[in-house]
Amino acid sequence: MGPTLDLFGGDDTPQAGRESLGAQSVVLRGYALPDAAALLAGVQIVAAQAPFRNMVTPGGYTMSVALTNCGRLGWTTDAQGYRYNRNDPLSGLPWPDMPAVFDDLARRGAAEAGFPGFAPDACLVNRYEPGSRLSLHQDKDERDYGSPIVSVSLGMPAVFLFGGHERADKTQRVPLFHGDVVVWGGVDRLRFHGVLPLKDRPHPLLGSRRINITLRRAG
């Protein structure tokens, strides 16, 4: 593991600013705060059309993180593997349209991090509850590795693990708070990353939940 930080000191209020995680990876502290209400409203609209669900991995493991998607493509997993689909496997209908605020924030955040021209076509929305975690993995189900990943945190704080290009590489422990945006791409695009099990530290708006909106160029 990398150096241990004071993960949740003070009142958990995110600080504005920019923190580098690597050559082409950055945390934009509080960047999404002005759009937080609109982002959460967008999540509600998406979930009303395509409800959150706990998917099963090819190995038979039920994910502790519930998810849904919006945009032209949506990420899914089942016994047949990991992939992007145009339609929600539960309803057979196309995934909901990506809310404009999602697209706009992703484009601006990517440009701020040094990736102008980003045009996401897939948005994975994860819902974490106390104990939920995401094991170390690479985002490599996309066809386009030339575009960055833009990840928006809302609700309860979490500890983001950001590693290297091999699973065994050391990881940084990065505290993420309501409104933080992480962007990674270029030489850092395929770095391993994950989320430690969430501690129950309720947020004033979302209670014991964390929403993570992750935007990609998948097609």
Q: Give the residue extent of every domain in the chain.
A: 17-216
Q: Are 47 and 131 in contact (CB under 8 A)?
A: no
Partners of 19 in beta bridges? 27
> What pLDDT score does 144 carry?
84
> What pLDDT score does 25 carry?
98
Task: Please give the model's pTM, rounded to 2 decimal places.
Answer: 0.92
Predicted confidence (pLDDT) per residue in 45-56, tens digit: 999 999 999 999
pLDDT band at 16 (very low <50, low <70, confident <90, very high): confident
Across all residues in the chain, what is the average pLDDT? 93
pLDDT band at 15 (very low <50, low <70, confident <90, very high): low
Instruction: Match domain 17-216 to its CATH number in 3.40.50.300, 3.30.450.20, 2.60.120.590, 3.10.20.440.
Output: 2.60.120.590
